């Protein structure tokens, strides 16, 4: 009997798979590429909400768990997908400077925010009010991680390209039967595809579409991430990722002219040099209205579990939440009330 069937091979599914394997559990991962948001994500990690200069929920704990796990994968698979790079928040006024200084003085934010402003000038960016520098930042080349990890799982003979059919689950006393496989547990890490899951589609998973550009800008010459109304992320060879948009209505992965124009207009407000659009992506982020993930066990089927709602911060959240769920299943460790799906079922009963 397999310990875990894992449905979804994005950041959430890979994180759970790695933790399970590290604990000598048997797994079978289904690709189930219903919503490929991980593959097109910007991949930035950053412990601070730079719009409000506030700490990301459990930022310290997320960083402490996520990066040893990623570095272990890099070493094991002999691949590099984690790139540490400073994020500079472009400050727009004296008021924003003051807000930055106040935030950097707070004990919970002091490790993450440099108290001294960065006065470096970049030729193509006007920045009279300078920049605030964020520590412990960078980006994952998520497509590289997914591709390498998928090959690793294939070598272990525990990966399936098949789509997952929820209707073929049979419940047993000691687990489930799915086609030719018996398993103790199923982890659903399907992203926005959760809406097609009959066991968890009553959870309040919203979806926020995001669009990204890759541009070529040889005269930009940045070696840091610039964050303003959009982020500009250097990825080498004069190429930059630019993102992202937020659309709460359109739930497709199709890039739009409107999204492209929004990104181009915002980009032109920041940089003055020429650029050319090389690629344009779209994807639906799995977001939740209360801005907290959806993690936990089905109320009537204890074999079924969900790991979802990572939103825009999946790089940091994925490993941390996967471990929380693993400990909950294996050791009956209580989930924190902010992430436990019980909160949603309680709300529905009230």
Query: Which residues in the chain show pLDDT less than 70?
Result: 33-41, 346-350
The third-level CATH classification (topology) of the domain covering 85-138+206-286 is D-Amino Acid Oxidase; Chain A, domain 2 (3.30.9)
Architecture of the domain made up of 2-45+143-204+290-349: 3-Layer(bba) Sandwich (3.50)
- Nearest Cα neighbor of 34 from 165, 158, 179 is 165
In the chain, residues under CATH classification 3.30.9.10 are 85-138+206-286
pLDDT at 312 (0 to 100): 82
Whole-number Å distance between alpha carbons of 348 and 78? 47
Contacts of 320 (CB under 8 A, 6+ apart): 58, 61, 62, 65, 66
pLDDT at 52 (0 to 100): 86
pLDDT at 350 (0 to 100): 40
pLDDT at 311 (0 to 100): 84
What digits encode the pLDDT tens for the residues 37-81? 555 667 999 999 998 899 999 999 999 999 999 999 999 999 999
pLDDT at 26 (0 to 100): 98
In the chain, residues under CATH classification 3.50.50.60 are 2-45+143-204+290-349
Rounded to 5 degrees, what are φ and ψ at 2?
Answer: -75, 145
């Amino acid at each position: 009997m397999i310990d875990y069937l894992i449905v979804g091979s994005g950041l959430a599914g890979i994180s759970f798979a790695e933790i399970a394997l590290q604990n000598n559990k048997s797994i079978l991962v289904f690709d189930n590429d219903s919503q490929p948001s991980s593959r097109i994500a910007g991949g930035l990690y950053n412990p601070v909400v730079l719009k409000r200069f506030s700490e990301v929920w459990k930022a310290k704990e997320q960083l402490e768990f996520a990066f040893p796990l990623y570095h272990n994968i890099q070493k094991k698979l002999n691949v590099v997908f984690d790139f540490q790079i400073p994020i500079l928040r472009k400050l727009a006024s004296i008021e924003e400077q003051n807000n930055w200084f106040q935030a950097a003085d707070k004990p919970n934010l002091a490790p993450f925010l440099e108290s001294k402003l960065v006065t470096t000038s970049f030729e193509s960016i006007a920045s009279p009010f300078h920049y605030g520098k964020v520590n412990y930042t960078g980006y994952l080349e998520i497509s590289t991680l997914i591709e390498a990890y998928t090959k690793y799982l294939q070598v272990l003979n525990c990966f399936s390209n098949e789509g997952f059919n929820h209707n073929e689950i049979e419940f047993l006393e000691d687990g489930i039967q799915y086609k030719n496989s018996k398993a103790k547990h199923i982890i659903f890490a399907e992203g926005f595809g959760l809406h097609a899951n009959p066991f968890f589609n009553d959870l309040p998973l919203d979806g926020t579409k995001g669009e990204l550009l890759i541009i070529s800008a040889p005269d930009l010459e940045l070696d840091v991430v610039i964050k303003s109304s959009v982020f500009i992320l250097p990825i080498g060879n004069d190429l930059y990722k630019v993102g992202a948009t937020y659309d709460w209505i359109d739930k497709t992965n199709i890039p739009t002219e409107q999204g492209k124009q929004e990104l181009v207009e915002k980009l032109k407000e920041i940089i003055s040099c020429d650029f050319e659009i090389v690629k344009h992506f779209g994807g639906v982020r799995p977001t939740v209205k209360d801005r907290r993930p959806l993690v936990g066990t089905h109320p009537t089927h204890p074999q079924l579990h969900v790991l979802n709602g990572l939103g825009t911060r999946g790089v940091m959240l994925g490993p941390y939440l996967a471990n929380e769920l693993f400990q909950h299943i294996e050791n009956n460790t209580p989930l924190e009330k902010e992430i436990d799906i019980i909160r949603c079922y309680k709300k529905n009963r009230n």
